[in-house]
Amino acid sequence: MTSSLLKTLIGMAAVVSCTTAAADSVTVTDVTGREVTLEAPAERVILGEGRQIYLLGLLEPEDPFAHIVGWREDFFQADPDNYARYAERFPEIEALPTFGGFKDGTFDVEQAASLTPDVVFMNLEAKAATEDAAYDDKLAQLGIPIIYVDFREDPIEHTIPSMRIMGQVMNDEAAAEEFIDFAEAQLARVTDVINEANPERPSVFIDRAGGYSDECCMSFGPGNFGEYVTLAGGINIADGIIPGSFGTLNPEQIIAANPDHVVVTGGNWDAYVPGGAWVGVGPGSDMQAAHAKLEALTSRTAMTGIQAVEDGNFHAIWHQFYNSPYYFVAIQQLAKWLHPSLFEDLDPEATMQELHDRFLPINYEPGYWVSLHDD
Protein backbone atom coordinates (compact mmCIF):
# COMPACT_ATOMS: atom_id res chain seq x y z
CA MET A 1 0.00 0.00 0.00
CA THR A 2 1.49 3.36 -1.01
CA SER A 3 1.98 6.02 1.67
CA SER A 4 -0.20 8.51 -0.21
CA LEU A 5 -3.03 6.02 -0.52
CA LEU A 6 -2.65 5.11 3.14
CA LYS A 7 -2.95 8.78 4.12
CA THR A 8 -6.02 9.16 1.94
CA LEU A 9 -7.69 6.13 3.44
CA ILE A 10 -6.84 7.26 6.97
CA GLY A 11 -8.47 10.56 6.15
CA MET A 12 -11.57 8.78 4.88
CA ALA A 13 -11.75 6.73 8.06
CA ALA A 14 -11.45 9.89 10.15
CA VAL A 15 -14.32 11.52 8.30
CA VAL A 16 -16.54 8.53 8.90
CA SER A 17 -15.47 8.48 12.54
CA CYS A 18 -16.62 12.07 12.93
CA THR A 19 -20.01 11.28 11.46
CA THR A 20 -20.58 8.57 14.08
CA ALA A 21 -19.45 10.65 17.05
CA ALA A 22 -22.90 10.32 18.62
CA ALA A 23 -22.37 6.59 19.09
CA ASP A 24 -21.25 5.22 22.45
CA SER A 25 -17.86 3.67 22.98
CA VAL A 26 -17.97 -0.02 23.87
CA THR A 27 -15.20 -2.44 24.77
CA VAL A 28 -15.67 -6.11 23.97
CA THR A 29 -13.45 -9.11 24.60
CA ASP A 30 -13.38 -11.31 21.53
CA VAL A 31 -12.98 -15.10 21.51
CA THR A 32 -9.19 -14.79 21.42
CA GLY A 33 -9.21 -12.71 24.61
CA ARG A 34 -8.36 -9.45 22.81
CA GLU A 35 -10.04 -6.31 24.14
CA VAL A 36 -11.38 -4.16 21.32
CA THR A 37 -12.87 -0.71 21.78
CA LEU A 38 -15.07 0.82 19.12
CA GLU A 39 -18.09 3.02 18.60
CA ALA A 40 -21.37 1.13 18.89
CA PRO A 41 -23.69 0.28 17.41
CA ALA A 42 -21.56 -0.42 14.35
CA GLU A 43 -23.22 1.02 11.26
CA ARG A 44 -20.84 -0.32 8.60
CA VAL A 45 -19.70 -3.91 8.92
CA ILE A 46 -17.51 -6.25 6.88
CA LEU A 47 -18.07 -9.96 7.38
CA GLY A 48 -14.80 -11.86 7.12
CA GLU A 49 -16.86 -14.93 6.26
CA GLY A 50 -20.19 -14.77 4.45
CA ARG A 51 -21.66 -17.49 6.65
CA GLN A 52 -21.49 -15.08 9.57
CA ILE A 53 -24.89 -14.05 8.23
CA TYR A 54 -26.16 -17.08 10.16
CA LEU A 55 -25.44 -15.05 13.31
CA LEU A 56 -26.61 -11.67 12.04
CA GLY A 57 -29.76 -13.28 10.68
CA LEU A 58 -30.61 -14.25 14.26
CA LEU A 59 -29.81 -10.82 15.67
CA GLU A 60 -31.46 -8.66 13.02
CA PRO A 61 -33.98 -10.83 11.15
CA GLU A 62 -35.92 -7.89 9.75
CA ASP A 63 -32.90 -6.77 7.74
CA PRO A 64 -29.66 -8.63 8.48
CA PHE A 65 -27.90 -6.83 5.61
CA ALA A 66 -28.74 -3.29 6.73
CA HIS A 67 -25.23 -2.64 8.05
CA ILE A 68 -23.14 -4.95 5.86
CA VAL A 69 -20.92 -3.11 3.38
CA GLY A 70 -18.91 -6.12 2.21
CA TRP A 71 -18.44 -9.82 2.84
CA ARG A 72 -16.44 -12.85 1.83
CA GLU A 73 -17.89 -14.79 -1.10
CA ASP A 74 -18.09 -18.20 0.59
CA PHE A 75 -21.82 -18.14 1.48
CA PHE A 76 -22.92 -18.53 -2.14
CA GLN A 77 -20.39 -21.28 -2.77
CA ALA A 78 -20.70 -23.30 0.44
CA ASP A 79 -24.43 -22.97 1.07
CA PRO A 80 -26.16 -22.06 -2.21
CA ASP A 81 -29.55 -23.24 -0.96
CA ASN A 82 -29.75 -20.80 1.93
CA TYR A 83 -28.04 -18.09 -0.10
CA ALA A 84 -30.84 -18.33 -2.67
CA ARG A 85 -33.47 -17.99 0.04
CA TYR A 86 -31.77 -14.94 1.56
CA ALA A 87 -31.30 -13.41 -1.90
CA GLU A 88 -34.99 -13.86 -2.66
CA ARG A 89 -35.93 -12.04 0.56
CA PHE A 90 -33.10 -9.47 0.38
CA PRO A 91 -32.14 -9.03 -3.30
CA GLU A 92 -29.72 -6.24 -2.41
CA ILE A 93 -27.18 -8.84 -1.32
CA GLU A 94 -26.39 -9.54 -4.97
CA ALA A 95 -24.78 -6.08 -5.18
CA LEU A 96 -22.70 -6.33 -2.00
CA PRO A 97 -18.93 -6.16 -2.58
CA THR A 98 -17.29 -9.54 -2.03
CA PHE A 99 -13.77 -10.39 -0.90
CA GLY A 100 -11.36 -13.24 -1.17
CA GLY A 101 -10.15 -15.03 1.91
CA PHE A 102 -7.71 -14.00 4.58
CA LYS A 103 -6.33 -17.56 4.76
CA ASP A 104 -5.55 -17.77 1.04
CA GLY A 105 -4.11 -14.26 0.88
CA THR A 106 -6.70 -12.87 -1.54
CA PHE A 107 -8.24 -10.32 0.82
CA ASP A 108 -7.88 -6.78 -0.54
CA VAL A 109 -7.16 -4.32 2.29
CA GLU A 110 -7.47 -1.29 0.03
CA GLN A 111 -10.87 -2.42 -1.22
CA ALA A 112 -12.00 -3.03 2.35
CA ALA A 113 -10.73 0.32 3.57
CA SER A 114 -12.51 2.14 0.75
CA LEU A 115 -15.80 0.92 2.23
CA THR A 116 -14.96 2.70 5.51
CA PRO A 117 -16.17 -0.07 7.82
CA ASP A 118 -16.57 0.44 11.54
CA VAL A 119 -15.53 -3.15 12.22
CA VAL A 120 -14.45 -6.36 10.52
CA PHE A 121 -15.79 -9.55 12.05
CA MET A 122 -13.25 -12.29 11.46
CA ASN A 123 -13.53 -16.01 12.08
CA LEU A 124 -11.05 -17.49 14.53
CA GLU A 125 -9.50 -19.93 12.04
CA ALA A 126 -8.28 -16.99 9.94
CA LYS A 127 -6.35 -15.37 12.80
CA ALA A 128 -2.93 -16.84 12.05
CA ALA A 129 -3.15 -15.98 8.34
CA THR A 130 -4.45 -12.50 9.15
CA GLU A 131 -1.45 -11.81 11.36
CA ASP A 132 1.06 -13.46 9.01
CA ALA A 133 -0.09 -11.21 6.17
CA ALA A 134 -0.18 -8.20 8.53
CA TYR A 135 -3.80 -7.51 7.58
CA ASP A 136 -4.48 -6.67 11.21
CA ASP A 137 -1.70 -4.06 11.30
CA LYS A 138 -2.80 -2.51 8.02
CA LEU A 139 -6.40 -2.23 9.14
CA ALA A 140 -5.32 -0.90 12.55
CA GLN A 141 -3.44 1.94 10.82
CA LEU A 142 -6.78 2.88 9.27
CA GLY A 143 -8.60 2.75 12.59
CA ILE A 144 -10.58 -0.33 11.52
CA PRO A 145 -10.79 -2.92 14.31
CA ILE A 146 -10.94 -6.67 13.81
CA ILE A 147 -13.12 -8.68 16.19
CA TYR A 148 -12.70 -12.46 16.20
CA VAL A 149 -15.74 -14.67 16.58
CA ASP A 150 -16.02 -18.45 16.26
CA PHE A 151 -18.71 -20.98 15.54
CA ARG A 152 -16.48 -23.49 13.74
CA GLU A 153 -13.25 -24.27 15.59
CA ASP A 154 -15.03 -24.80 18.92
CA PRO A 155 -18.75 -24.19 18.38
CA ILE A 156 -19.87 -25.52 21.77
CA GLU A 157 -17.49 -23.22 23.64
CA HIS A 158 -17.51 -20.17 21.39
CA THR A 159 -20.89 -19.80 19.69
CA ILE A 160 -22.65 -18.25 22.66
CA PRO A 161 -19.81 -15.78 23.46
CA SER A 162 -19.70 -14.88 19.76
CA MET A 163 -23.42 -14.16 19.77
CA ARG A 164 -22.97 -11.91 22.81
CA ILE A 165 -20.03 -10.09 21.20
CA MET A 166 -21.95 -9.37 18.02
CA GLY A 167 -24.99 -8.41 20.09
CA GLN A 168 -22.91 -5.83 21.95
CA VAL A 169 -21.36 -4.39 18.82
CA MET A 170 -24.66 -4.24 16.91
CA ASN A 171 -26.75 -3.13 19.92
CA ASP A 172 -28.70 -6.38 19.74
CA GLU A 173 -28.03 -7.75 23.21
CA ALA A 174 -31.67 -8.67 23.90
CA ALA A 175 -31.97 -10.62 20.65
CA ALA A 176 -28.70 -12.42 21.40
CA GLU A 177 -29.86 -13.46 24.87
CA GLU A 178 -33.23 -14.68 23.58
CA PHE A 179 -31.50 -16.95 21.08
CA ILE A 180 -28.94 -18.13 23.65
CA ASP A 181 -31.75 -19.15 26.03
CA PHE A 182 -33.39 -21.11 23.22
CA ALA A 183 -30.16 -22.81 22.15
CA GLU A 184 -29.22 -23.84 25.69
CA ALA A 185 -32.70 -25.20 26.38
CA GLN A 186 -32.69 -27.24 23.16
CA LEU A 187 -29.24 -28.67 23.88
CA ALA A 188 -30.34 -29.61 27.40
CA ARG A 189 -33.15 -31.72 25.93
CA VAL A 190 -30.39 -34.10 24.85
CA THR A 191 -27.65 -33.70 27.44
CA ASP A 192 -29.98 -33.94 30.45
CA VAL A 193 -31.39 -37.24 29.16
CA ILE A 194 -27.95 -38.67 28.36
CA ASN A 195 -26.59 -37.68 31.76
CA GLU A 196 -29.57 -39.22 33.54
CA ALA A 197 -29.84 -42.44 31.53
CA ASN A 198 -26.10 -42.99 31.01
CA PRO A 199 -26.79 -45.33 28.09
CA GLU A 200 -24.34 -47.63 26.36
CA ARG A 201 -22.62 -45.48 23.77
CA PRO A 202 -22.51 -46.66 20.13
CA SER A 203 -19.41 -45.92 18.08
CA VAL A 204 -19.71 -43.33 15.31
CA PHE A 205 -17.66 -42.33 12.30
CA ILE A 206 -18.33 -38.79 11.10
CA ASP A 207 -17.50 -38.74 7.40
CA ARG A 208 -16.74 -35.09 6.80
CA ALA A 209 -17.99 -34.07 3.32
CA GLY A 210 -18.06 -37.69 2.19
CA GLY A 211 -17.95 -37.96 -1.59
CA TYR A 212 -16.54 -34.45 -1.98
CA SER A 213 -13.35 -35.99 -3.30
CA ASP A 214 -12.23 -39.47 -4.29
CA GLU A 215 -10.04 -39.72 -1.22
CA CYS A 216 -11.34 -41.11 2.06
CA CYS A 217 -11.88 -40.01 4.72
CA MET A 218 -11.92 -36.61 6.34
CA SER A 219 -13.36 -36.51 9.84
CA PHE A 220 -13.46 -34.65 13.15
CA GLY A 221 -11.38 -35.13 16.27
CA PRO A 222 -12.65 -34.27 19.76
CA GLY A 223 -14.05 -30.90 18.62
CA ASN A 224 -16.89 -29.74 16.41
CA PHE A 225 -18.96 -32.68 15.11
CA GLY A 226 -16.80 -34.97 17.21
CA GLU A 227 -18.04 -33.21 20.31
CA TYR A 228 -21.59 -33.30 18.95
CA VAL A 229 -21.32 -37.09 18.90
CA THR A 230 -20.16 -37.18 22.52
CA LEU A 231 -22.95 -34.88 23.68
CA ALA A 232 -25.49 -37.00 21.77
CA GLY A 233 -24.38 -40.13 23.62
CA GLY A 234 -21.94 -41.69 21.17
CA ILE A 235 -18.25 -42.47 20.87
CA ASN A 236 -16.38 -40.69 18.08
CA ILE A 237 -13.95 -43.24 16.59
CA ALA A 238 -11.57 -40.44 15.52
CA ASP A 239 -11.18 -39.12 19.05
CA GLY A 240 -7.62 -40.00 20.05
CA ILE A 241 -6.52 -40.37 16.43
CA ILE A 242 -7.21 -36.86 15.12
CA PRO A 243 -5.74 -34.46 17.70
CA GLY A 244 -7.56 -31.29 16.64
CA SER A 245 -10.99 -30.49 15.32
CA PHE A 246 -10.30 -31.62 11.75
CA GLY A 247 -8.21 -34.36 10.20
CA THR A 248 -8.20 -37.59 8.21
CA LEU A 249 -8.62 -41.30 8.88
CA ASN A 250 -7.46 -43.97 6.47
CA PRO A 251 -9.78 -46.79 5.38
CA GLU A 252 -7.96 -49.35 7.51
CA GLN A 253 -8.59 -47.32 10.67
CA ILE A 254 -12.31 -47.10 9.92
CA ILE A 255 -12.63 -50.80 9.15
CA ALA A 256 -10.72 -51.71 12.31
CA ALA A 257 -12.95 -49.43 14.42
CA ASN A 258 -16.06 -51.04 12.88
CA PRO A 259 -18.40 -48.15 13.80
CA ASP A 260 -22.03 -48.78 14.69
CA HIS A 261 -23.08 -45.62 12.85
CA VAL A 262 -21.70 -43.55 9.99
CA VAL A 263 -22.82 -39.94 9.61
CA VAL A 264 -21.83 -38.20 6.37
CA THR A 265 -21.88 -34.41 6.31
CA GLY A 266 -23.21 -33.09 3.04
CA GLY A 267 -24.36 -30.09 1.06
CA ASN A 268 -25.02 -28.92 -2.46
CA TRP A 269 -21.51 -28.17 -3.67
CA ASP A 270 -21.76 -27.76 -7.42
CA ALA A 271 -19.76 -24.53 -7.05
CA TYR A 272 -16.80 -26.58 -5.83
CA VAL A 273 -17.24 -30.08 -7.27
CA PRO A 274 -19.87 -30.05 -10.04
CA GLY A 275 -21.81 -33.29 -10.13
CA GLY A 276 -19.76 -34.73 -7.28
CA ALA A 277 -20.62 -37.76 -5.16
CA TRP A 278 -21.37 -35.57 -2.12
CA VAL A 279 -24.79 -35.99 -0.52
CA GLY A 280 -26.97 -32.99 -1.34
CA VAL A 281 -28.78 -32.13 1.87
CA GLY A 282 -30.03 -28.68 2.84
CA PRO A 283 -33.27 -26.71 2.67
CA GLY A 284 -35.60 -28.00 -0.02
CA SER A 285 -33.20 -30.72 -1.16
CA ASP A 286 -34.25 -33.68 -3.30
CA MET A 287 -34.39 -36.41 -0.67
CA GLN A 288 -34.64 -39.22 -3.18
CA ALA A 289 -31.44 -38.07 -4.87
CA ALA A 290 -29.73 -37.56 -1.50
CA HIS A 291 -30.74 -41.06 -0.40
CA ALA A 292 -29.31 -42.55 -3.60
CA LYS A 293 -26.00 -40.71 -3.18
CA LEU A 294 -25.82 -41.75 0.46
CA GLU A 295 -26.35 -45.38 -0.46
CA ALA A 296 -23.63 -45.16 -3.12
CA LEU A 297 -21.11 -44.08 -0.46
CA THR A 298 -21.53 -47.41 1.37
CA SER A 299 -19.58 -49.16 -1.39
CA ARG A 300 -16.30 -47.40 -0.68
CA THR A 301 -13.37 -49.48 0.55
CA ALA A 302 -13.47 -47.82 3.99
CA MET A 303 -17.03 -49.07 4.51
CA THR A 304 -16.23 -52.73 3.76
CA GLY A 305 -17.97 -55.03 6.22
CA ILE A 306 -18.57 -52.41 8.91
CA GLN A 307 -21.51 -52.75 11.28
CA ALA A 308 -23.07 -49.43 10.30
CA VAL A 309 -23.55 -50.59 6.73
CA GLU A 310 -24.78 -54.03 7.77
CA ASP A 311 -27.42 -52.49 10.06
CA GLY A 312 -28.36 -49.61 7.77
CA ASN A 313 -27.21 -47.09 10.37
CA PHE A 314 -25.80 -44.89 7.64
CA HIS A 315 -26.91 -41.27 7.67
CA ALA A 316 -26.23 -37.84 6.18
CA ILE A 317 -26.65 -34.43 7.76
CA TRP A 318 -26.20 -30.84 6.61
CA HIS A 319 -22.50 -29.97 6.64
CA GLN A 320 -23.06 -26.37 7.76
CA PHE A 321 -24.18 -27.49 11.20
CA TYR A 322 -20.41 -27.54 11.78
CA ASN A 323 -20.15 -23.84 10.96
CA SER A 324 -23.33 -22.22 12.19
CA PRO A 325 -25.02 -21.36 15.50
CA TYR A 326 -27.56 -24.14 14.90
CA TYR A 327 -25.30 -26.86 16.36
CA PHE A 328 -27.94 -27.97 18.88
CA VAL A 329 -30.25 -29.16 16.08
CA ALA A 330 -27.50 -31.47 14.78
CA ILE A 331 -26.98 -32.84 18.29
CA GLN A 332 -30.70 -33.56 18.58
CA GLN A 333 -30.74 -35.44 15.28
CA LEU A 334 -27.62 -37.41 16.18
CA ALA A 335 -29.26 -38.37 19.48
CA LYS A 336 -32.34 -39.60 17.59
CA TRP A 337 -30.16 -41.84 15.44
CA LEU A 338 -27.94 -43.11 18.24
CA HIS A 339 -30.64 -43.62 20.90
CA PRO A 340 -34.04 -43.83 19.19
CA SER A 341 -35.85 -45.25 22.22
CA LEU A 342 -34.50 -42.57 24.57
CA PHE A 343 -35.47 -39.77 22.21
CA GLU A 344 -38.68 -41.09 20.74
CA ASP A 345 -40.49 -37.84 21.62
CA LEU A 346 -37.72 -35.49 20.48
CA ASP A 347 -38.45 -33.85 17.13
CA PRO A 348 -35.44 -32.05 15.61
CA GLU A 349 -37.62 -31.10 12.64
CA ALA A 350 -39.89 -29.16 15.01
CA THR A 351 -36.85 -27.56 16.61
CA MET A 352 -35.63 -26.39 13.21
CA GLN A 353 -39.11 -25.08 12.41
CA GLU A 354 -39.24 -23.11 15.68
CA LEU A 355 -35.74 -21.76 15.09
CA HIS A 356 -36.85 -20.32 11.76
CA ASP A 357 -40.25 -19.11 12.97
CA ARG A 358 -38.89 -17.30 16.01
CA PHE A 359 -35.49 -16.09 14.94
CA LEU A 360 -34.73 -16.22 11.22
CA PRO A 361 -35.82 -14.10 8.25
CA ILE A 362 -36.38 -17.07 5.92
CA ASN A 363 -38.94 -19.86 6.05
CA TYR A 364 -38.03 -23.38 7.05
CA GLU A 365 -37.92 -26.08 4.41
CA PRO A 366 -37.05 -29.69 5.31
CA GLY A 367 -34.13 -31.53 3.74
CA TYR A 368 -31.33 -31.18 6.31
CA TRP A 369 -30.79 -34.91 6.95
CA VAL A 370 -31.46 -38.33 5.50
CA SER A 371 -30.82 -41.92 6.57
CA LEU A 372 -30.78 -45.28 4.85
CA HIS A 373 -33.49 -46.13 7.41
CA ASP A 374 -35.75 -43.67 5.56
CA ASP A 375 -36.82 -46.26 2.98
User: d(Cα 370, Cα 107) in Å, to the nearest integer?
Assistant: 37
Mean of pLDDT values over 110-115 = 88
Pair 177, 160: CB distance under 8 Å: no
Q: Which residue has the higher pLDDT, 7 or 109?
A: 109
Closest C-alpha to 193, from 349, 350, 353, 336: 336
What domains can be seen in the chain, in order of their start residue? Answer: 26-170 (3.40.50.1980), 200-371 (3.40.50.1980)
Provide the mean pLDDT of the chain.
Answer: 91
DSSP conformation class of 148: E
Mean of pLDDT values over 350-364 = 98
The residue type at 316: A
Enclosing H/E stretch for 204: strand 203-207
pLDDT confidence tier of residue 10, bands split at 50, 70 and 90 = very low
Q: To the nearest 10°, report the CA torsion of 345, 186, 335, 205.
A: 160
DSSP conformation class of 199: P
- Mark residue 138 as left, alpha or beta (left: phi above 0; alpha: psi -120 to 50; beta: remaining): alpha
User: d(Cα 197, Cα 73) in Å, to the nearest integer?
Assistant: 44
Residue 17 predicted with pLDDT over 60 = no
pTM (two decimals): 0.91
- Residues 6 or more apart whose CB falls under 8 angstroms from that of 369 comprise 281, 315, 316, 317, 318, 333, 348
The residue type at 26: V
pLDDT confidence tier of residue 108, bands split at 50, 70 and 90 = confident
- Residues 6 or more apart whose CB falls under 8 angstroms from that of 53 comprise 47, 64, 65, 68, 71, 75, 86
pLDDT confidence tier of residue 36, bands split at 50, 70 and 90 = very high
Interstrand relation of 35-40 and 24-29 (parallel, antiparallel or unpaired): antiparallel
